[in-house]
Amino acid sequence: MKYLKPWWSDSGSLLHLTILLSLAGLRLDLDLDLDLYLLLPPPTLLGDELLLSGGPASPAYALSPFPASGGWGRAELLHPKGRERDPVAPPVGQLLREVRALGVPFIPCTRVDAWLVHSVAAGDADGAHALLGAAAASSAGGVGAGVNGVSQAAPGSGGNPRAAPSSPLAAGEEEKAPAELTAQVSDAGGHASEENEVLRAVDHSSQHEENEQRASTQREKSLQQKNEDENKVADKPVWEAEKTSEPRNERHRNGTDTSFSLEDLFQLLSSQPENPLEGISLGDSPLPESTNDGMNSSTHCNANFSQAVSHDVNLHEAMLCPDNTFRRDPVARTSQPQELFLQLNSPLTNPEQTLSGTNLTGFLPFDNQMRDLTNQDLLYDLDINIFDEINLMSLATEGGFDPMEVSQLFEEPDSDSGLSINSSHNSTSVTKYNSSRSVCEGASRSRSDLESLSHRDLQGAVGGCYPEPTKLCHMDHRSDTHFHGKFAFQPILHNHTYHLQPSALESTYESFSWPGKSQKIRHGYLNDTDRNLSRDEQHAKALHIPFSVDEIVQMPVDSFNSMLSRYYLTDFQVSLIRDIRRRGKNKVAVQNCRRRKLDVILNLEDDVCNLQAKKETLKRERSQCHKAINIMKQKLRDLYHDVFNRLRDEEGRPVNPNQYALQCSRDGSVLIVPKELVTPGQKNENQKGKRKSERRN
């Protein structure tokens, strides 16, 4: 990551230059740089090794929130905290001069940088002087007005929606940007002399700022009036100009393309006498002499770059550009997909062939630090946008697009495939991914395998490390504004180690529709690794379902339906996904059911034990009661006999207990009654009591 450190961190500049953006910048224009910049996360998320701008003392900056006053207004570099001017920030003009002196193509990666360079290159006196004046004011401790709408006003950006979250400016002020940009773009007719003036003005001190600004403003106004009729197209907003049917390079040739690109910057820099970039060729297309003559006209300026490198392209096109010239034509774009990616891949082994047929070896006078950057790192960082711009799943359905080619394009002998190098933003770990070799095996795969190979970038969760279901950011990575950050900077632990043999794949593909037979089949062909996977996981892997089984099963029904609708899935895949979900749900339900059933059984067993214990207790209590009753009966009998032994009749003879009985009356008195006079009811009760007592005994 050392190559991503700020170039001159000591100065605390906003400007930073990376090899990635330098190399990519050869083909990308300003808006894409901004786009890349906007893709970058806050420095705090990346740690000290990935400071985006500024140095340790000023890791980040914010634009002044002050509203524009009369066009561009002025800008100063502020700390994000406190809205205070950064005391360590050098003048912007000084920074630009340093860039030019170092002879490295300056790629504006921050908004202030972008606008500065844009305004300078476009010959915008107001904008340039506003910025330069802001820089001077910044160095002098002054306070200026802010530049508004930088994010949306980026040339050719078309209003990058991702700019909004990252912009420190108020939304209302950002809306002014397109109009302001239009004004600036319309003036970007390439006034080389004016640009030189502006560049020279960069070197001026703050004391000369106002005079120079006024002079530039006057020149700018005059030139604006002069070229007003010639740049009708440029009066349109950039995003509207993008929609015109006129090809981009045609507009370049016509001198109507006013968007600023790195080539503009390069030419701007190379126009300086001391610029070491002087004389560097941009490509096979013969550069007009204006490349070195200081850009005498806007026509030359734009025509040169249109022939060498197209302007205002996105990274997608940059990746797909087969030659040195960007093509807006989708047919041309898709006609040579392999060459396009191979072109990006080629620097891995031969950086000088980065631009095929283009003599760019001298373009970038990389210093040693920059040379340390490996091409894998470059590709890796570029890959962030590869997946942002390229919907492989959609491309896979287009005719003429062979996902296998894509996979091969990213291949290199000693590194991971291009599809998997995106798995982590840590460029140093790129070489750790060695799963790309198996992609080569796809040459012998079945058609179904090839068709679904493009999903591999998304299917890593299947059989691998599954992301949390709540982090289904990839469900709609095109619309999720948070996707880029997560996707780019969170390591996605894709597992690309599984690769079914063609026979196994076919067997799985054929058997997945018959679950009853699949289990028998799967054990016949699966290797040890695949046996660790469940059947659904194997099926999902075979059909390249871009989701893990856990995701399919656990995601909410809304997300599930949204997933099915947003992704291009074949009927087979949809059916399989639904089956997986159904089976997964049922599997969990069965487990719960059996768990509950087991709990019920255990509870019943506990109840039985409890009831048995209670029964025993009751038995013991009953036995104790019987014993007590018998004791009482025995005592009663003893008392009965004792009473009769003591009784005497009128003649003094003992009373026979068989003829008489004791009867208790209601008033508590005890009477001696002959048994013949005992009522039948009393007899029955007495007999029942006797029988019961006999049975109990």
Which chain residues interact with DNA by CB under 7 A?
515-516, 519-520, 523, 534-536, 557, 560-561, 579, 581-583, 585-594, 596-597
Q: Least separation, in Å, of the C-beta of 566 and DNA?
A: 16
Nearer to DNA, 471 or 594 (CB): 594
Token pair belonging to 381: 């960082």
Nearer to DNA, 519 or 624 (CB): 519
Q: Least separation, in Å, of the C-beta of 494 and DNA?
A: 24
Nearer to DNA, 602 or 636 (CB): 602
Question: Distance between CA 143 and CA 138 in Å, rounded?
Answer: 7
Sequence-ordered list of residues with C-beta below 8 angstroms from that of 612, at least 6 positions apart, any chain: none
Nearer to DNA, 211 or 519 (CB): 519
Token pair belonging to 12: 């605390």
Q: Least separation, in Å, of the C-beta of 78 and DNA?
A: 50
Written as one string, the DSSP assignment of 249-285 is HHHHHHT-----BHHHHHHHHHTSTT-TTTT---SSS
Nearer to DNA, 531 or 614 (CB): 531
Cα within 13 Å of Cα(637), Cβ side: 7
CA 401 and chain centroid, separation: 25
Q: Least separation, in Å, of the C-beta of 467 and DNA?
A: 19
Pairing relationship of beta strands 670-674 and 660-664 according to DSSP bridges: antiparallel
Q: Least separation, in Å, of the C-beta of 484 and DNA?
A: 30
Continuous segment of H or E residues that includes residue 406: helix 403-409
Question: Distance between CA 24 and CA 26 in Å, rounded?
Answer: 5
Phi, psi (deg, nearest 5) at residue 261: -130, 175
Q: Least separation, in Å, of the C-beta of 592 and DNA?
A: 4
Nearer to DNA, 284 or 579 (CB): 579
Question: Are 263 and 282 contacting, i.e. CB atoms less than 8 angstroms apart?
Answer: yes
Q: Least separation, in Å, of the C-beta of 557 and DNA?
A: 4
Q: Least separation, in Å, of the C-beta of 527 and DNA?
A: 15
Q: Least separation, in Å, of the C-beta of 44 and DNA?
A: 39
Nearer to DNA, 104 or 472 (CB): 472
Q: Least separation, in Å, of the C-beta of 542 and DNA?
A: 14
Question: Distance between CA 303 and CA 694 in Å, rounded?
Answer: 127
Question: Distance between CA 182 and CA 242 in Å, rounded?
Answer: 13
Q: Least separation, in Å, of the C-beta of 538 and DNA?
A: 10
Written as one string, the DSSP assignment of 190-249 is --HHHHHHHHHHHHS-GGGHHHHHHHHHHHHHHHHHHTTTTTTGGGS-HHHHHHSSS-HH
Question: Which residue type, as a one-letter code, is found at position 110?
Answer: T
Nearer to DNA, 587 or 696 (CB): 587
Continuous segment of H or E residues that includes residue 660: strand 660-664
Question: Are 612 and 604 contacting, i.e. CB atoms less than 8 angstroms apart?
Answer: no
Token pair belonging to 293: 């003559």
Nearer to DNA, 594 or 627 (CB): 594
If you count them, how many residues does the chain have?
697
Q: Least separation, in Å, of the C-beta of 544 and DNA?
A: 19
Looking at residue 78, the DSSP 8-state letter turns out to be E
Q: Least separation, in Å, of the C-beta of 462 and DNA?
A: 15
User: Which of 145, 206, 140 has the alpha carbon at shortest distance from 173?
Assistant: 145
Nearer to DNA, 22 or 538 (CB): 538
Q: How many CB atoms lie within 10 A of CB 245?
A: 5
Instruction: Give me the residues paired with residue 256 across strands.
Output: none
Nearer to DNA, 102 or 564 (CB): 564
Question: Distance between CA 283 and CA 622 in Å, rounded?
Answer: 110
Q: Least separation, in Å, of the C-beta of 509 and DNA?
A: 16
Question: Are 511 and 518 contacting, i.e. CB atoms less than 8 angstroms apart?
Answer: yes
| Angle subtended at Cα 327 by Cα 305 and Cα 316, rounded to the nearest 5 degrees | 105
| Residue environment code for 602-616, b if the CB has 16+ CB neighbours within 10 A, otherwise e | eeeeeeeeeeeeeee
Question: Are 171 and 100 contacting, i.e. CB atoms less than 8 angstroms apart?
Answer: no
Question: Are 135 and 209 contacting, i.e. CB atoms less than 8 angstroms apart?
Answer: no
Q: Least separation, in Å, of the C-beta of 611 and DNA?
A: 22
Nearer to DNA, 470 or 645 (CB): 470
Nearer to DNA, 52 or 553 (CB): 553
Nearer to DNA, 102 or 574 (CB): 574
495, 583, 518, 513: CA torsion to nearest 10: -100
| Residue environment code for 527-539, b if the CB has 16+ CB neighbours within 10 A, otherwise e | eeebeebbbbbbb
Nearer to DNA, 200 or 582 (CB): 582
Which single residue is written with the structure tokens 């039985």? Answer: 608
